[in-house]
Amino acid sequence: MQNLKTLLIGVYFGIVLIKSEVVSWFRIQKMFRFEEAHMYLIMCSAIAVGALSVFLIKKLQVKTVGGENIQIKEKKFQKGVIIGGILFGLGWAITGACPGPIYAQIGSGEFLALLTFGGAFAGAYLYAYLHPRLPH
């Protein structure tokens, strides 16, 4: 049941990613070349809505529909945030896709994105392999 709900949220998110064209390599290029405000405006308005929601959920101590307390997983700082972040940024501009869009691209019929996905899977494996030796 839980998984059906997240699946449906994924469907919703995938539709918006396609229809807003943030899954497009061309849009990502225009963003990094500062040729278009589209991506920046989307990110800022998404964060605004997300931040307001999180604020209200915390403030009003809203529970889930199942009546459970909501606990947000907190992101912690470590060296990987910087090193990994830059490496991801390099890959993001090359492939035109961050993780969410990779899945949406494949679904949309852009089968070349299977290569991006294969690379990302291999990259995660590489991280798992190097994990004990990397600075964190």
Partner 1 sequence: MDLMTQPWPWYISGPLIGLTVPLLLLLTGKTFGISSSFRHLGSMCSPNTKLSYLKENDWRKESWNLALAAGLVIGGWIGMRLLARDPFPLLPAEYSTVEGMIKLFLGGVLVGFGTRYADGCTSGHTIMGLSNLKWASLVATICFFIGGLLTTALAQIIPF
Q: Which of residues 4-63 bind partner 1 (CB under 8 A)?
A: 4-26, 28-29, 31-33, 37-38, 41-51, 53-54, 57, 62
**How many residues can be counted in the chain?**
136
Question: Which x/- pattern, by CB under 8 A, does the window 63-102 give for partner 1?
Answer: -xxx-xxxxxxxxxxx-xxxxxxxxxxxxxxxxxxxxx-x
To the nearest whole angstrom, how small is the minimum distance from the Cβ of residue 129 to partner 1? 6
Q: Kindly state whether residue 133 participates in binding partner 1, applying the rule CB under 8 A.
A: no
Going by C-beta distance under 8 Å and a sequence separation of 6 or more, which residues neighbour residue 135?
79, 80, 83
3-state secondary structure of 20: coil
Interface with partner 1 (CB under 8 A), residue from 3, 59, 61, 133: 3
